[in-house]
Amino acid sequence: MPTINVQVFEGRTLEQKRAFVKAVTEATVQTLGATPESVDIIIHELKKEDWATAGRLWSDRT
């Protein structure tokens, strides 16, 4: 059972999430030979203030 965890900035629409999980499920089925029913995808939405790259919060970037 593949379980895929994805971290993204908050703000995606429900339609975007639906399209994303459909595409990722299809790719997982094709590449790993899994069944669609065995693919779990967990989306973690984060605020930009909770994510940093190179020592800088994304909320501080312009």
Which structural domains are found in the chain, ordered by start?
3-55 (3.30.429.10)
Q: What per-residue confidence (pLDDT) applies to 54?
A: 97
Active-site residue, selected from the candidate residues 1, 2, 11, 50: 2
pLDDT digits 0-9 by tens, 20-41 = 999 999 999 999 999 999 999 9
Chain CA centroid to CA 51, Å: 15
Mean of pLDDT values over 41-50? 98
DSSP 13-59: -HHHHHHHHHHHHHHHHHHH---GGG-EEEEEEE-GGG-EETTEEGG
Higher pLDDT, 1 or 3: 3
Return the pLDDT at 1.
87
pTM confidence score: 0.88
Does 36 qualify as catalytic in the annotation?
no
